[in-house]
Amino acid sequence: MMMMKGELWSNLGSTMAAIMFTYAMFRQYFPPQLQDYIFRYSKKLSNLFYPYIHVTFDEYTGERMKKTEAFSAIQNYLSDKSSANAKRLKADVVQDSQSLVLSMDYNEEITDEFDGVKLWWSANRSSPKTQQFSFYPAADEKRFYVLKFHKRDREFVIGTYLKHVMKQGKAIAADNRQRKLYSNGAGQSFHGLRSSTTWTHVSFEHPATFDTLAMDEKRKKEIKKDLLKFSNAKDYYAKIGKAWKRGYLLYGPPGTGKSTMVAAMANFLNYDVYDLELTTVKNNVELRRLLIETSNKSIIVIEDIDCSLDLTGQREGKKKKRDDKSEEGTDPISSMSKTEERKESEVTLSGLLNFIDGIWSACGGERIIVFTTNHVEKLDPALIRRGRMDKHIEMSYCRFEAFKVLAKNYLDIDTHPLFGEIERLLGETDMTPADVAENLMLKSDDDEEDEACLKSLIEALKGAKEEARKKAEEEGKQSEETEKEQSVNENVGEEDAISSKEVKENGVIH
Ligand SMILES: Nc1ncnc2c1ncn2[C@@H]1O[C@H](COP(=O)(O)OP(=O)(O)OP(=O)(O)O)[C@@H](O)[C@H]1O
């Protein structure tokens, strides 16, 4: 046995020596052109017998070194398969440093199978010219994926498989995407000079969904259908030549769930949310800049539109008064800024409408704009006409259907003997879902607590009903008194008219 091992080593040694000797002879006696020629043809010859095709996908492309969409999609596509198949993995932090994603390490290969066809993916990087020890990749290091498949599958891979990889990769990216809530706050201020407003963001983690939204099931279904239809209608909007945008107007009393509805919409469509606070936007120019900066797949919300926009021209007047007051005795720098601010125009209704119809329509797509208001009657019809606000949704007081959703969310119950009384009271009393929810908040884990919550809701509903009755009574009394006063005034007016007539006729002047 020992003898056989020794023989093997000596044979290997002599073979290596023979190869090296032949290679040295070849380099020494063959001219470089001939060497090139021989290499090229030997490669062609070997290709005849090598049945595989290799496709390379670089991470960056072009002079501006833009990250390729294909690389990102492949990275996402392979992340799932890598964690199950690859032996060596590397971990990356994604989603605003909140979760780890595993992918195959460099020089690792994994096998994929699609429709019975076998393919091999490997992750690679080119060795940098400037070698130095560092945790960070060298600037000239290039990363790329290589796909290997049999040449008989060429058509299938190019026509079907790669499309599947791209689609899957993009879908995984959309699922993993950490959505953001943007808000426009004032930028840094320098010596009291306010700089322009900018978007700042935090991750969007509102838990509201259509399942937790207290609303009639039929209306929820209708809204979800409308949203889905919009998000899948890219081709339709292109065909009819309209910008891929949709406007929603949410109106109803405070606490009926307008903000909750926006969150549910964003979670349903997987969109970012831009909370646009118009009162901090200096003028139309700034508004235009902010709107242009919004990204696709987003909901732009303007809450309480009646309070934040100069719909009646009163805002300017109020602001001027405020500025005049505060300018008295202020330092020169801050008073200069206020004078400048006043010279610039405020955000106006026409400015906003122009952006909705014009600029906003011309840049990007897949955007929803939502206006919310507690006083729909105050809004200018021009702002909410169909075409601008395509869908008007009334958020109303809590009725029994909506209550059942809240009872399920808060108490995890579908039915209870007290539901009958609650249904009757909700039909007779106006209470917002926010107030109903307040009563359903559990104070302990006690099983008895469900009943206690429902009883406290019944008491609150009875109280609200009584209050509404008293209010209606008082209002009735007041209107009676006003009517009486009016009729007295009318009588006095008539008497005065008669006496002045008499005076005229009798020609007596006192
Ligand atoms: N329809 C609803 N479904 C579920 N929860 C609701 C609903 N309406 C209100 N709530 C609860 O009440 C709270 C306040 O609701 P929300 O802020 O959405 O009301 P709003 O109509 O936007 O009020 P406002 O006009 O004052 O901004 C929410 O945090 C939510 O818990």
Nearest CA to ligand 1 atom 11: 434
pLDDT tier at 292, thresholds 50, 70, 90: confident
* Number of continuous H segments (helices) and E segments (strands) in the chain: 19, 17
Least confident range of 32-46, 222-236, 253-267 = 32-46
pLDDT tier at 18, thresholds 50, 70, 90: confident
Phi/psi of residue 372, each to 5°?
-120, 150
Cα of 310 from ligand 1 centre, angstroms: 26
Nearest CA to ligand 1 atom 16: 257
pLDDT at 345 over 50: no
In angstroms, rounded to a whole number, what is the distance separating the alpha carbons of residues 248 and 240? 20
Least confident range of 252-266, 342-356, 362-376 = 342-356
Interior angle at CA 205, CA 368 and CA 81, nearest 5: 95
Q: What pLDDT shows up at residue 499?
A: 55
The fold for domain 180-309+347-394 equals: Rossmann fold (3.40.50)
Q: What pLDDT shows up at residue 342?
A: 38
Pocket test for ligand 1, best of 251, 256, 306 (most atoms within 8 A of CB): 256
Cα of 432 from ligand 1 centre, angstroms: 8
Model-level pTM?
0.66
Among 98-102, 125-129, 408-412, 477-481, the range with the most confident prediction by mean pLDDT is 408-412
Nearest CA to ligand 1 atom 8: 257
In angstroms, rounded to a whole number, what is the distance separating the alpha carbons of residues 481 and 338? 48
Contacts of 203 (CB under 8 A, 6+ apart): 95, 96, 98, 178, 179, 180, 181
Question: Mean pLDDT over residues 105-111, rounded?
Answer: 85
Instruction: For residue 315, list its beta bridge partners.
Output: none
Give the residues surrounding ligand 1 with Cβ less than 6 Å away: 213-215, 254-260, 374, 395, 433-434, 437
277 in Cβ contact with 184 (< 8 Å): yes
In angstroms, rounded to a whole number, what is the distance separating the alpha carbons of residues 188 and 195? 6
Nearest CA to ligand 1 atom 6: 257
Inter-CA distances, 79 with 113, 116, 270, 431, 484, Å: 15, 21, 21, 50, 80
Q: What pLDDT shows up at residue 140?
A: 63
pLDDT at 503 over 50: no
Least confident range of 95-104, 318-327, 338-347, 477-486 = 318-327
Cα of 19 from ligand 1 centre, angstroms: 81
Cα of 256 from ligand 1 centre, angstroms: 5
Q: What pLDDT shows up at residue 486?
A: 77
Cα of 404 from ligand 1 centre, angstroms: 16
CA within 13 Å, CB half, 375: 9
Q: What pLDDT shows up at residue 336?
A: 35
Cα of 373 from ligand 1 centre, angstroms: 13
With CA atoms as reference, report the closest residue to 223 among 390, 426, 427, 377. 390
160 in Cβ contact with 115 (< 8 Å): yes
Q: Which residue has the higher pLDDT, 295 or 26?
A: 295
Q: Which residue has the higher pLDDT, 319 or 46?
A: 46
* Ligand 1 atom closest to residue 261's alpha carbon, by position in its atom list: 18
Q: What pLDDT shows up at residue 128?
A: 62
* Ligand 1 atom closest to residue 303's alpha carbon, by position in its atom list: 27
* Beta strand 197-203 pairing with 180-186: antiparallel
How far is the first Cα of the chain from the last one, in angstroms, to the nearest whole number? 150
pLDDT tier at 259, thresholds 50, 70, 90: very high
pLDDT at 456 over 80: yes
pLDDT at 113 over 80: yes
> How large is the ipTM?
0.97
Domain ranges of the chain: 27-127+140-176, 180-309+347-394
pLDDT tier at 7, thresholds 50, 70, 90: confident
Pocket test for ligand 1, best of 210, 260, 306 (most atoms within 8 A of CB): 260
With CA atoms as reference, report the closest residue to 145 among 121, 129, 128, 165. 121
Cα of 303 from ligand 1 centre, angstroms: 13
* Ligand 1 atom closest to residue 260's alpha carbon, by position in its atom list: 18
Inter-CA distances, 30 with 25, 44, 337, Å: 8, 20, 82
Nearest CA to ligand 1 atom 10: 434
Q: What pLDDT shows up at residue 34?
A: 79
Contacts of 141 (CB under 8 A, 6+ apart): 125, 126, 127, 128
pLDDT tier at 160, thresholds 50, 70, 90: very high
Return the beta strands (E) in 305-458 as ranges: 367-373, 391-394
Cα of 335 from ligand 1 centre, angstroms: 40
In angstroms, rounded to a whole number, what is the distance separating the alpha carbons of residues 84 and 100? 15
354 in Cβ contact with 287 (< 8 Å): no
Return the beta strands (E) in 276-344 as ranges: 298-302
pLDDT at 132 over 70: no
What would the pLDDT profile of 69-104 be if each residue is shown by its tens digit? 888 899 889 887 776 676 777 776 655 555 666 778
What would the pLDDT profile of 55-71 be if each residue is shown by its tens digit? 999 988 765 566 788 88
Cα of 254 from ligand 1 centre, angstroms: 7
What would the pLDDT profile of 425-435 be if each residue is shown by its tens digit? 999 999 999 99
Q: What pLDDT shows up at residue 131?
A: 55
Q: At what angle do helices 400-411 and 433-440 cross, to 10 degrees?
A: 30
Cα of 145 from ligand 1 centre, angstroms: 48
Pocket test for ligand 1, best of 212, 251, 259 (most atoms within 8 A of CB): 259
234 in Cβ contact with 215 (< 8 Å): no
Mean predicted lDDT score pLDDT of the chain? 79
Instruction: For residue 198, list its beta bridge partners.
Output: 185
Nearest CA to ligand 1 atom 26: 254
Q: What pLDDT shows up at residue 282?
A: 84
